[in-house]
Amino acid sequence: MRLPSPKSWSIGTRLFFSAAVLSSVILLAAGIGLSTLYRATAESRFDERLGVYLRALVADVASPSEENRADPGELGEPQFELALSGWYWQITRVDGDKQDIKSSRSLFAARLPKLADQNIPAGIGGTRKGYVKGPDDRTLRLVERIIDLGDQGIYLVQVAATPESMDVDIAHFEFELIITFVLLAAALVGSSVLQLHYGLLPLRRFHEGVAAIRRGEREAIEGAFARDIAPLASELNLLVVANREVVERARNEVGNLAHALKTPLSVIINEADEDESQLAVKVREQAALMRDQVTYYLDRARVAARAGILGHVTEIAPVAMALVHIFDKIYHDRGIAFALKAIEGLRFQGERQDLEEMIGNLVDNAGKWAHHNVMIAIEPFADAGQQGGRSFFRVTIDDDGEGLAPELREAAMRRGRRLDETRPGSGLGLSIVVDLAALYGGALRLDASPMGGLRAELELPAAV
């Protein structure tokens, strides 16, 4: 499944995603910073504890008299007495040819490495701090200091301990930190969702208002909007009003043009009817053709104007039922039966007059060619999701006539083309349906009917 491109994301998705990413980055940086700070603090506290033992050993070594010196092992920490406990001290005289070494019992026969040999610089007071490998290959935190006692000698005093307790403390803190930040992230995500829901509420109301106009439920966007949206709603309302005014003027002009053209043509035809000469016959023929053409193109202009109006919605089933009643009467003498199967609730996104003209032309055409039966079915169009997100419905009209050869079906929908001159009509019926359907974004197709005759499938936009 292909994910939508970020360019097509909604405003809400963009805001939520950016807030989530920024919050995650900030929380991650804060977590790393706090963890690093706590590790440094824990290490400093551990070093301070080791420094206490170091100072006690330094004080013992620096005691001016033998009788005042205490036993270096008396540091108050039992682990210095346990073999390989991980807590060690060592005092080494470094100014003689032979090093004199004293150490805690915990070191056993092992020796502590020197930080000076690892090029670790001395800090304040000449103390060095660092990590080394202990007698049992465990990592030790070591602090050391060189004491110069003049004639009494120069000594290296070292205290080391395994940082396991510090590491456990740090791990416990990091676990609690992760739990806290996860809960904080969930709270931030929840607050972002609530904030977006509340903040984008005016846009959703605006969208609902525009959709209501398109469905024909309202004539304008109603309600109070936030200051950022209110000007847009006002401008759109003015645009809708202006659109209706333009269309109304176009309708009036089309009506005036129709009257101005049809009246002279009617006069010409009437005058030619009084003369039986070849010229009069030709005039009548061409004048009638001109009248049909004028009617056709004026109808197209009228429908094109109406198709651009927002908000026209027509119930389909009542229109179809009314047409069936009309054609039942028209074709009663021929015994043609018209049957209708229509799903209630379907609505056409357009004017009633145009729907009547399209379905009426198709039903009339089927009645002309049928032997006994005409079936009309109206249902939602199953592939509506494939047509730009719009909803469509389909009108299927079948007859049991002789049908139409595949190579003649396209020709039958061309303007002015009559395949049988013995049948009444101008040859404009199907072409008008094709043009009207195209103006609304629909289509007309002809195919073979299961009843043996011709099937006409008309697809038109449905109002949601």
**Of residues 371 and 152, more confidently modeled:** 371
CA distances from 72 to 69, 89, 93, 144, 170 (A): 8, 9, 14, 15, 31
**pLDDT band at residue 70 using 50, 70 and 90 as cut-offs:** very low
**Of residues 208 and 399, more confidently modeled:** 399
pLDDT surpassing 80 at residue 414: no
**pLDDT band at residue 425 using 50, 70 and 90 as cut-offs:** very low
Q: Please return the burial class of 449, using the count of CB atoms within 10 Å of its CB with bins 0-12, 13-18 and 19+.
A: buried
pLDDT surpassing 50 at residue 392: yes
Q: What pLDDT score was predicted for residue 377?
A: 94
Q: What pLDDT score was predicted for residue 427?
A: 44
**Of residues 333 and 265, more confidently modeled:** 333
Q: CA-to-CA distance for 281 and 288, rounded, in angstroms?
A: 11
The residue-averaged pLDDT of 342-348 equals 88
Q: 112 near 101, Cβ under 8 Å? A: no
Q: CA-to-CA distance for 311 and 212, rounded, in angstroms?
A: 8
The residue-averaged pLDDT of 120-135 equals 87
Q: CA-to-CA distance for 243 and 239, rounded, in angstroms?
A: 6
Q: What pLDDT score was predicted for residue 389?
A: 59
Tell me the backbone φ, ψ of residue 3, rounded to 5 degrees: -75, 145
The predicted-structure confidence for 293-311, as pLDDT tens digits, reads as follows: 777 666 666 665 555 555 5
**Of residues 294 and 316, more confidently modeled:** 316
Q: What pLDDT score was predicted for residue 309?
A: 54
Which of 50-64, 81-95, 304-318 shows the lowest mean pLDDT across its residues? 304-318
pLDDT surpassing 80 at residue 212: no
Q: CA-to-CA distance for 339 and 356, rounded, in angstroms?
A: 17
Q: What pLDDT score was predicted for residue 325?
A: 93
**pLDDT band at residue 363 using 50, 70 and 90 as cut-offs:** very high
The predicted-structure confidence for 243-283, as pLDDT tens digits, reads as follows: 777 777 777 777 677 667 777 777 787 777 777 788 877 87
Tell me the backbone φ, ψ of residue 382, rounded to 5 degrees: -65, -30
Q: CA-to-CA distance for 282 and 273, rounded, in angstroms?
A: 11
pLDDT surpassing 70 at residue 180: yes
Q: Which of the given ranges, 199-203, 234-238, 292-296, 344-348, has the highest pLDDT on average?
A: 344-348
Q: What pLDDT score was predicted for residue 296?
A: 64
**Of residues 400 and 20, more confidently modeled:** 400
Q: CA-to-CA distance for 141 and 42, rounded, in angstroms?
A: 12
CA angle 85, 112, 110 (to 5 degrees): 65
pLDDT surpassing 90 at residue 398: yes
**pLDDT band at residue 395 using 50, 70 and 90 as cut-offs:** very high
**pLDDT band at residue 33 using 50, 70 and 90 as cut-offs:** very high
